[in-house]
Amino acid sequence: MTRYARVIGTGGYLPDEIRTNEQISQTVDTSDSWIIERTGIKSRRIAGPDETASSMAEIAARQAIEAAGCDPEQIDLIIVATGTPDRVYPSTGCLLQQRLGIKDCVSFDVQAACSGSIFALNIADQYIKSGAAKTILVVGTEICSRIVDWTDRGTCILFGDGAGAVLLGLSEETGILSTHIHSDGEYEDLLYCPNPQAASESNKHESAFISMRGNEVFKVAVNTLGRIVDETLEANNMDKEAIDWLVPHQANIRIIAATAKKLKMSMDQVVVTLENQGNTSSASVLLAFNEAIRDGRIQRGQVVLLEAFGAGFTWGSALIKY
- Angle made by CA atoms 181, 263, 111, in degrees to the nearest 5: 25
Q: Are residues 74 and 10 in the same domain?
A: yes
**Residue of 114, 144, 156, 193 marked active site:** 114
114 is catalytic: yes
Please state the separation of Cα 260 from the chain's center in Å: 18
Q: What does the pLDDT average to over 165-169? A: 98
Q: Are residues 62 and 188 in the same domain?
A: no
198 confidence band (pLDDT: 50, 70, 90): confident
Report the distance separating Cα 308 and Cα 314, nearest Å: 8
**Residue of 180, 249, 252, 290 marked active site:** 249
Report the distance separating Cα 57 and Cα 62, nearest Å: 8
Residue span of the structural domain in which 189 resides: 177-321
The SS3 call for residue 56 is helix
Report the distance separating Cα 75 and Cα 65, nearest Å: 9
- Angle made by CA atoms 313, 242, 265, in degrees to the nearest 5: 65
Q: Are residues 222 and 121 in the same domain?
A: no
**Would the pLDDT of 249 be above 90?**
yes
70 is catalytic: no
199 confidence band (pLDDT: 50, 70, 90): confident
Q: Are residues 163 and 185 in the same domain?
A: no
- pLDDT tens digits along 64-76: 999 999 999 999 9
279 is catalytic: yes
Q: Are residues 194 and 273 in the same domain?
A: yes
- pLDDT tens digits along 59-104: 999 999 999 999 999 999 999 999 999 999 999 999 999 999 999 9
φ/ψ (deg, to 5) at 19:
-115, 115
Q: How many CB atoms lie within 10 A of CB 300?
A: 9
Which CATH number belongs to the domain containing residue 14 in this structure? 3.40.47.10
Residues in CB range of 43: below 8 A, 6 or more apart: 18, 19, 20, 21, 275, 276, 278
